[in-house]
Structure 1
Amino acid sequence: MNNISYIALLALLSGPVLADETNNSTTQNEKPKRVQTFGDLLDPDLPGVLTPKGSFVLDTSFSFTQNSSNTVNVVGYTVLPALIVGLIEASDTDRTTLTFGLTGRYGITNRLEVEARIPWVYRYDSISRRANDGQPSTAPETQTFSDSDLGDLEAAFKYQINMTGAPYWIAGVRFKSTTGRSPFETSGDELSTGSGFPSIEPNLTMIMPLDPAVIYANLSYIWNIKDDVSFDDADGNRQSVELDLGDTIGFSAGMGFSVNPKFSFSLGLSHKTIFKTKQDGQNVDNAKLLQLSSMSMGANYAINPETTLNVGINAGLTADAPDFQLTVRVPYTLK
């Protein structure tokens, strides 16, 4: 079970937390082993907290994300603070995203691992509009869109800085491609399945064992590489501009706690700040600074020494964050 320490780290960063499954085989003259905790999982005698050298982890995942927004558009003027003359349009937008992911991790050395992820994205959007122009209320006009396609492929490297002496530090870098359908490549009722821009994400993770729990924190910065895009304006004219999506600073922290050798849970908070988008080097008029905060809860069950079941839930705490996200992961270790 040389992969147990890595799985604990992986579960911590993804939501659920894993406890070790100890060897239950004892003789009549032997005392049963103590329940292994997170402090044991990060023992210096073990290879490390990343994928051990020569081991491969195949991680299948399913994610359900629900996001909704309500907006009111007014075309007219105000006579009194409570009296508006003109056209009032209210819209309700519901966006559902299902993501099926296949991730592979391989331990090059006990301190270095490489990771690759292939996502498949299904989207379903529903937009309802109701106009109030002084006439009797009418039924809302509802439009639905659905689409699916390959998402943005990702690759990552992680390196464990120190092997002994807590806290443990892991540095990493993640690369995101543009294999998914860009928002600027859609037409008609098509929906995007990717951001349309490549990105590089350096990150640093701290893990502090406090028997029988583990405290973790992660700091990341997403650099979106600017690119030229083309789109049709309101008059139907084709425009080509240089677009620079706002970079993102992210921070998350939480705690994982082992209940028994097979079951554990975790609690955490995360926050992301997305800077304003720039067009041709200038700030976009309607661009705004986004603040995304969410609370996460997770549970982990060790099916056997090679397979675990992770279930994580994220709830948005700010208006810009997704309302709800459910993630189910099943990592399987091949030695």
Structure 2
Amino acid sequence: MENAENNINPLFSFTLSKVALAFWLSTSSTSYAAQNISSDDKSVNQYETELERQRILLAKQGEQIEALTRMVNALMANSQATGADKNSNKSPNKGTPYNVAGTNTSTAKPKQPMPSQSTTRNVAQNKPVGQAPPKSANTIDASAIPELGDTFSGVLSGKGTFVLEPSFGYSYTDNNRVFLDAFSFIPALVVGLIDLREIKRHSFIGSISARYGITERWEVDLKVPYLARSDSQRSRPVSIGVSEDEIFNADGHGLGDIEVSTRYQLNNPKDGGPIFVANLVATIPTGTSPFDVEFMQSTPGAVFPTELPTGSGYVSIQPSVTAIYATDPGVFFGNLSYGYNMDTDEEVGNVDPGDSAGISFGLGVSLNERASMSLSYSHKHVLKSKINDIKIDGSQLDIGQLIIGYSFRYSPSTNVSLSLAVGVTDDAQDTRLNFRLPVTF
């Protein structure tokens, strides 16, 4: 507005100067004409004629002054309108005064000083302008994948990134079993021992894992667990004259089996296709082996462990392949795995735990920039175990679980993840709850 006024003042001054010059010329010419008439002693008619000519000249000059005045007023009006448009573009309310809450204020307010160009530039730089660029098709929100089975968790860390992840898990199993140590001649006649047993098992697993990104596409992981288990078994042998149930409690705690794993991203698609990651997990039997646990016989045919194992007792190697496909706002993921369990020599002979094959798949959805959830299903089939190359009947297992996961990004370097797994097969744990807190350095 100040610039507009500065541009008008010179024009207005020039116009006034021109008007004053015209008025001075008309006055001078009138005086000069009067002197000539009086000096030459002209007649009255000539004087009136000259006076009429001067009056006409003054009328024309007055019209010119009015025209110049209208032109100046128009220039001033256009300058004021231009300044108002510029001010309306700087505020969203187009010149109408609003208070903080957005309510229209009808009372007049004193004018505020106009901000300088440097102040306006700084304010514009501090405010977001335009629309954020779209995410790349290869960008995957790691928080949308809280956990995918036991062999893959989230996406790769990245070169030079160190992730420390403490976790705590709880699982509960309630199972009713019938043990038959008898001979059946016909379906209604059984000679021998029939043991009806109810087992309730509580397991607490605390672990700490460290993950480091060697390159952008390769990382290694080390996981050290600690287990605490408690079993309550109620047994009632049949046909041996025992009228009361046998209740036996056992527990065990200690270091679990240490896991060493590595992951490598196989491809880096440019057109937004799926990403494939190869995983390899090795389990070292550092926990208490089930073959080292002592058993005791409570009643004829009822045998219970004196303590519970914290490890598997054998070396396991499990390769797998994970596929991840990002489609805003969700992430599809799946995993195929095969577990090779090495045989071990124990007092009972050469024990082959039996290999396993697993599949899992699911969908992760980002609710907003900080929260996400996932829904997945995991199924593992365990082949029959062998002792001295003889298959053990009843050792074949099918473990199916439905997993619901939640994740919250507490800070740029810390995520909070919670997953709930519900068993859908008889061999699976009834409930498994897992809490993870990965911290990135």
Fold shared per TM-score above 0.5: yes
Deviates more, 1:311-320 or 1:125-134: 125-134
Aligned partner (choices 261, 268, 272) of residue 156 of structure 1: 261
Q: Percent identity?
A: 33
Aligned partner (choices 198, 201, 205) of residue 95 of structure 1: 201
Distance 1:37 1:29, change over 3 A: closer
Rg larger for: 2
Distance 1:74 1:249, change over 3 A: closer
How much does 1:72 deviate?
3.0
How much does 1:225 deviate?
1.1
Deviates more, 1:197-206 or 1:163-172: 163-172
Is residue 267 from structure 1 mapped to residue 375 from structure 2 by the alignment? yes
| Preserved CA contact (<8 Å) 2:386 2:392 | no
Distance in 2 of aligned mates of 1:179 and 1:80: 47
Partner of 1:23: none
How much does 1:76 deviate?
7.1
How much does 1:131 deviate?
4.1
How much does 1:293 deviate?
1.1
Deviations 1:64-117 (A, max 9, x none): 111121123467788996787886542101111111010100000001101000
How much does 1:323 deviate?
1.0
Distance 1:75 1:185, change over 3 A: closer
Partner of 1:124: 230
How much does 1:134 deviate?
9.6
Is residue 249 from structure 1 mapped to residue 366 from structure 2 by the alignment? no
Partner of 1:235: none
The residue type equivalent to 2:126 in the other structure is T
How much does 1:218 deviate?
0.3
Partner of 1:11: none
Give the root-mean-square deviation of aligned CA atoms: 2.8
Distance in 2 of aligned mates of 1:81 and 1:162: 59
Distance 1:193 1:161, change over 3 A: same
Residue 41 of structure 1: SS of its match in structure 2?
coil
| Preserved CA contact (<8 Å) 1:35 1:260 | no
| Preserved CA contact (<8 Å) 1:49 1:160 | no
Number of residue pairs matched? Answer: 294
5+ residue gaps, structure 1, are 1-25, 231-238
Aligned partner (choices 129, 136, 152) of residue 30 of structure 1: 129
Aligned partner (choices 373, 386, 401) of residue 278 of structure 1: 386
Partner of 2:415: 308
Distance in 2 of aligned mates of 1:218 and 1:322: 20
Distance in 2 of aligned mates of 1:168 and 1:157: 17
Distance in 2 of aligned mates of 1:118 and 1:222: 20
Distance in 1 of aligned mates of 2:179 and 2:315: 34
Partner of 2:401: 294
Partner of 2:343: 226
Higher relative contact order (CA 8 A, sep 6+): 1
Distance 1:38 1:191, change over 3 A: farther
Alignment of 1:1-335 (within 5 A): 27-31=126-130, 33=132, 40-41=139-140, 49-73=155-179, 89-133=195-239, 138-165=243-270, 166-187=273-294, 189-230=306-347, 239=348, 241-280=349-388, 282-334=389-441
The residue type equivalent to 1:103 in the other structure is S
Residue 67 of structure 1: SS of its match in structure 2?
strand
Is the helix fraction higher in 1 or 2? 2
TM-score when normalising by structure 1: 0.80
How much does 1:227 deviate?
1.6
Is the strand fraction higher in 1 or 2? 1
Distance in 2 of aligned mates of 1:127 and 1:102: 31
